[in-house]
Structures are given as C-alpha cells and as structure tokens.
Amino acid sequence: MGNVIDDLRTRFVTFDEDPFNEVDSLVLSQLSYARMPGNVPRWDGGDADDAGGDDADSAAIPMVPVRDLLRAERYDAMFGRVWSPQLNVDLLRAMCENPRWRALRVGAYVDEFDAASTKQFSACVFDVGDGALYVAFRGTDSSIVGWKEDFTMAFRRPVASQSAAVRYLADVACRWDGPLMVGGHSKGGNLAVYAAASMPDDVASRVTAVYSHDGPGFDEAFLESPEYRRISAKVHKSVPESSVIGMLFEQREQAAAGYEVVTSDGLGIMQHFALNWQVRDGRFVHADGLTGGARYAARTLNDWMARYDDERRRLFIEGLFAILEAGGYPTFGELTAHWAQSLPAMLVAARGIDAGDRGVMVEVLKGFAATAATSVIPGGDRRE
C-alpha cells in the first residue's frame, strides 16, 4: 500500500485492461495544479457557438503530449508554488513512464486571477487516450483571494470561478463531440460538479462521470435542484478521514449517502494533500469513516451557517477575511512567513468581530488556514 505515485511505479495496466476510475481522476486533478509551460496550448476563450459543429473533435482543441512537460529547467516554474514540488515532479515522471499514461495529451490551459472580483480560476483538458476527454479544474491556490472565493460560496452562487467553469466546460463541449469526464481536487471538485450540472441536456448526456476530491459541498437547494439531480448518479465524491475542506457546506453525513472516505498517511490537515491518499492495486484504500475531529469541525461551521441567512453569512465571511487581509500579504505563505509583522494588525482587525461569532471563526481559521499550506511552500509563493 502506498500513494498514487507508488501505484504508478508498480502497476502497468492500460485503460483497455482496467477502465478509467476515481484514482485516475485524482492523478489528473493533482497534475492540473501545475503552472503549465508555454508549449501547452492556451484556451482562447472564444465563443463556444463558433467552435462546434458536427465535425467537432480533438483537432479543435490543440494539445501536446504530457511527456513534453519533462523538462528539468521548467520544474520550478511548474511546481515551485505547490506543496511538495518533488512529489509533483515524481508524479509527472511516473505517469510518463507508465504505459497507462504514455499517450496522455494536455491543452486548453487557462489561469485567471482577479482580486477585484474575488476570482482564482484555472483549468485544462486531458485527452486520456481511451476515447474520452477529461476536463480538470484546479483547486484553490495559496492566495487569500482564492480562499475568500471558496467561502463566498456560503452566501452566493455562482461565485466568479463557478461561472468561469461553466463557460469553459461549455466551450470544450462544443469543440469535442465525444464523451466527457469532469473533475478536480479541493475547490476544483466543487467547480466540476457545478459546471456539469449547469450544462444543457445534450452536453450533460455526454458527461460520463464527475469527480470531486475533497471539494466543498453545496447547500440543500442546489442538491435538490433538477439540474443537479440530472447528473447526481454520475458524481463521485471522495474525502480523506480528516477532511475539513471537503466537508464545508456538505449536507450528507454518511459515506453511503454520497461520498467515500479514503485512508491518508498525512497527519491531520495534511490529509487534504492528494499525494498522501492511499492506493492499492489502482483503487483507493477505504477508511471506516470520518474522524471525530473532522465531524466536529464540519458540524461547527455547517450548523452555524444553517442558523443564519445569506446576509449574515456574508458579514461573517467578510469579517473573517478582513482579519486575514489586514496582515498585509496576498498569500498564506507570505502571511505565515511574516507572522511577527502581520499578527498585530490582524489582532486589531479582530477587535471588531461580534463576540458570538468568534468561536466559529477560530475553528474556521484553524482548519482552512492550515489546509492552505498543503497547496504551497510556506513563504515561497508569489503571484506573477
């Protein structure tokens, strides 16, 4: 038993021998965290209506072999701002060496960041080589803006990245007439579910699977909507035993009701990091259920939100991030690296918080601020 890299190094079955599954989705979701180099074709963001047609196929989506990413001089730019750069390089190498992934191609890369609209969005497309296209949405990066967007989901839908994900998937669907799979890790999983549910019937019918790996959930109104119900049987959600982010806004308490719990060798919040998830023979190693701490943290926040309307939630989230933004640094890595300088300003900002909200806010800060560290190298992340 080991992680997905260990599995790739020892198991050499092709997709013909063992069809695409949730572990394969986790592999692609993790690879989508890479800042793709310039040789990977960019998404042009054009009008999807102009790109489709009866002859729409992969030729309409320029791609390059993933093996073209194997350039040591590019590794720092690609992986220098994600947690454990060397493990991510190891993942890329193991994929390119394995017959299951040798034909993999990537393209339609997009990376958008806009502090004014609280938007952090990135996606790419993988041609798996089994006749299907996998649309991967990147999870939250280290920016405070990115995490603020995640929590904005508590009182607003769609947030900026959800709208971007819908446009992106619709454009890809017009340029490709075959089956589609959609997925992502962390916020990327939420975007995958939201985008798939928002597609018109003709596109939704071509979506064969939707994967959310420790992605935030949705409110009851979304889960009961006709759009979500139409795709719900295709949604595969997986979370580690000590999930925090994946249980945000999650309405379902039992794995049998909508998600599987995976064993992770990470400690505490580090279980969120996908390369700590345990795999055996190409499948997740399942745990008995969420830990008591994970259940408590989820109930603390979710029960609090259930008591208040969207306006009160908005005020709470804006108060929470006003504290973080008062630190004066745009990313969690920089914030923690300059803790001595940022903490006094944050404490001053915290004085204005309603006393009744402080207990919940402390639980949130303990959970998601620590989780943010799994996406970056502390102190080493700066937006270009």
Pairing of strands 279-280, 235-240: unpaired
Q: Are strands 259-262 and 235-240 parallel, antiparallel or unpaired?
A: parallel
Q: How many CB atoms lie within 10 A of CB 77?
A: 15
CATH of domain 4-298: 3.40.50
The tens-digit pLDDT sequence of the chain (384 residues) is 799 999 999 999 999 999 999 999 999 999 999 999 999 999 986 544 443 444 445 558 999 999 999 999 999 999 987 878 999 999 999 999 999 999 999 999 999 988 777 788 999 999 998 889 999 999 876 667 767 777 777 677 898 899 999 999 999 999 999 999 999 999 999 999 999 999 999 999 999 999 999 998 888 889 999 999 999 999 999 999 878 777 777 765 544 457 899 999 987 667 888 999 999 999 999 998 888 877 777 777 777 777 777 787 777 777 777 777 778 777 666 776 677 777 787 777 777 777 667 666 666 665 545 554 444 443 344 343
Strand partners, 279: 2, 284
CA distance 305 to 292: 20
Is residue 216 within 8 Å of residue 190, measured between CB atoms?
A: yes
Q: Strand pairing partners for 120?
A: 113
Neighbours of 73 (CB within 10 A): 7
Beta bridge partners of 182: 135, 210
Q: How many angstroms separate the CA atoms of 144 and 193, rounded?
A: 23
The residues pairing with 126 across neighbouring beta strands, listed in sequence order, are 106, 134
Residue extents of the structural domains in the chain: 4-298, 299-375
